[in-house]
Amino acid sequence: MTSPAKPDPLSRRRFLGGAALAGAGLAGTGLARAETGKPDPLITEVQDWSRYLGEGVDKRPYGTPSRFEKHVIRRDVSWLTASPESSVNFTPLHELDGIITPSGLCFERHHGGIADIEPASHRLMIHGLVEKPLVFTMEDIKRMPRQNRIYFLECAANSGMEWRGAQLNGCQFTHGMVHNVMYTGVPLKLLLAEAGVKTTAKWLLLEGADSSGMNRSLPLEKALDDVLIAFAMNGEALRPEQGYPLRAVIPGWEGNLWVKWLRRIEVGDQPWQAREETSKYTDLLADGRSRRFTFFMDAKSVVTNPSPQAPLKQKGRNVLSGLAWSGRGTIKRVDVTLDGGKNWQHARIDGPVLDKSLTRFYVDFDWAGQDLLIQSRAIDSTGYLQPTKEELRKVRGTNSIYHNNGIQTWHVKANGETENVEIG
């Protein structure tokens, strides 16, 4: 005999929206009862989960997170775009740890919705300046030598809403267009070798099978270096929203190039000047001219906890946590300030430090309840130092939209409430 599990009244966790934090900061969540001299009933009384049987192995053939984690989801900002099929949502960075993003929380960006493709119906064509144009099935691709690599994917528009000043209250919204997973795929170099690239070739066109026919030009040099044509992420097939059954992986370069539902690679001698590399993904500078083909994602970091959606709740010992990454190599060092940049300390990097991958850092600190102005700054293996937003605006103006890798500031108030601010 089993009894249905009862909801636990003491496990209420409410999502703290950016503007609805008043009084939420130091509310007595998890105060040990013993402090009041009364024994904690969670200890002294037998709880349902300790008495009754839980669900069996036949109940969750594909597991999902605990029901107490329902607030940990991708969120979108409805006013940003005209339609949800050509839009974006954001990874809840403040709810995650380590360096791997769970597949179901990797931010989505589509231009014509999620293509629904049966692998047996998918084809990859390589043609153009090649000895022999070829068509591959998924079966063909899975018979080729494959590699496993962990890479971050960051949208070039990540933090784009912050160019003119602090706007969105939460690192999910300011920095959530980034994720980091392990890909399994075939080096593009091998696929190109099968077709035989002609000596006049300089550029490739990558094209998706979705209803936007997403197309981007890619320099051949990069394609022959470290580009993967991936069919798996985090050990399982790509998720539909991440390009199932096949996507391009362009390590360290802007996410828009990582064409999903990849169906065609044309080999040519010049870029195509597609809509996504001209009218979009060009960086408009203050003089009215625009940079194009700004592929690299510069070194960047953000403190994920505390942050507006994850305020401080307890005085005393706390863990500050964050992420750093660079499209040009590895993260060498991360510095953190708690006083708005007067003084800095080296953060403790923990976990794998990989090329073109998210890197996790921590500062274990004591908080006496004073206001904090928290920032992090990253230095990568090329010696690039993450600039302040002001330094970036000086060289780029405020109309660029893309490639905002400026230093982020969080203001922690006495009640723990945390806000996205800018400082001078």
Please, which of residues 218-237 interact with another protein by CB under 8 A? 225-226
Cα–Cα distance measured from residue 402 to residue 155, given in angstroms and rounded to the nearest whole number: 9
Among 350, 367, 369, 414, binds another protein (CB under 8 A): 350
Q: Does 6 bind another protein (CB under 8 A)?
A: no
Q: What is each CA distance from 32 to 27, 39, 40, 311, 378, in whole angstroms?
A: 13, 9, 7, 20, 37
Phi-psi region of 234 (alpha: psi -120 to 50; beta: other; left: phi over 0): left
Structure token pair of residue 116: 């629904």
Q: Does 341 bind another protein (CB under 8 A)?
A: yes
Q: Closest distance between another protein and the C-beta of residue 7, in Å? A: 14
Q: Which residues contact 7 (CB under 8 A, 6 or more apart)?
A: none
Q: Does 14 bind another protein (CB under 8 A)?
A: yes
| Backbone torsions φ then ψ of 215, nearest 5 degrees | -135, 135
> Closest CB to another protein among 23 and 383?
383
Phi-psi region of 420 (alpha: psi -120 to 50; beta: other; left: phi over 0): beta
Q: Does 247 bind another protein (CB under 8 A)?
A: no
Among 102, 330, 365, 415, binds another protein (CB under 8 A): 330
Q: Does 343 bind another protein (CB under 8 A)?
A: yes
Q: Closest distance between another protein and the C-beta of residue 47, in Å? A: 25
Give me the 367-386 binding string for another protein, x by CB under 8 A, dash otherwise: ------x---x-x-xxxxx-
C-beta of residue 124 within 8 angstroms of C-beta of residue 135: yes
Parallel, antiparallel, or unpaired: how do β-strands 123-128 and 262-268 relate? parallel
For residue 10, the SS3 value is: helix
Q: Closest distance between another protein and the C-beta of residue 48, in Å? A: 22
Distance in angstroms between the alpha carbons of the first and the last residue of the chain: 65
Please, which of residues 55-84 interact with another protein by CB under 8 A? 70-71, 73, 75-83
Q: Does 168 bind another protein (CB under 8 A)?
A: yes
> Closest CB to another protein among 48 and 269?
269
For residue 192, the SS3 value is: helix
Q: Does 419 bind another protein (CB under 8 A)?
A: yes
Give me the 270-299 binding string for another protein, x by CB under 8 A, dash otherwise: x-xxxx--xx--x-x-xxxxxxxxxxx-x-
> Closest CB to another protein among 40 and 194?
194
Among 240, 349, 365, 369, binds another protein (CB under 8 A): 349
Instruction: Point out which span in 46-54, 209-217, 240-248, 318-326 binds another protein (CB under 8 A).
Output: 209-217
Please, which of residues 111-130 interact with another protein by CB under 8 A? 111-112, 125-127
Q: Which residues contact 224 (CB under 8 A, 6 or more apart)?
A: 188, 189, 192
For residue 193, the SS3 value is: helix
Among 91, 158, 169, 256, binds another protein (CB under 8 A): 169
Cα–Cα distance measured from residue 347 to residue 336, given in angstroms and rounded to the nearest whole number: 6
Instruction: Point out which span in 35-43, 114-122, 164-172, 317-325 binds another protein (CB under 8 A).
Output: 164-172
Give how many residues touch another protein by CB under 8 A: 131
Please, which of residues 189-208 interact with another protein by CB under 8 A? 189-191, 193-195, 205, 207
Cα–Cα distance measured from residue 13 to residue 66, given in angstroms and rounded to the nearest whole number: 13
> Closest CB to another protein among 102 and 213?
213
Cα–Cα distance measured from residue 154 to residue 176, given in angstroms and rounded to the nearest whole number: 9
Residue 78 has, within 13 A of its CA and on its CB side, a CA count of: 0
Q: Does 240 bind another protein (CB under 8 A)?
A: no
Q: Closest distance between another protein and the C-beta of residue 37, in Å? A: 35
Instruction: Point out which span in 32-40, 41-49, 51-59, 331-339 binds another protein (CB under 8 A).
Output: 331-339
Q: Nearest Cα to 390, choosing from 408, 374, 402?
A: 408
C-beta of residue 388 within 8 angstroms of C-beta of residue 211: no
Among 8, 48, 236, 391, binds another protein (CB under 8 A): 391
Q: Closest distance between another protein and the C-beta of residue 45, in Å? A: 30
Q: Does 421 bind another protein (CB under 8 A)?
A: yes
Position 82, amino acid: A
Cα–Cα distance measured from residue 249 to residue 260, given in angstroms and rounded to the nearest whole number: 9
Cα–Cα distance measured from residue 187 to residue 216, given in angstroms and rounded to the nearest whole number: 18
Q: Does 149 bind another protein (CB under 8 A)?
A: yes
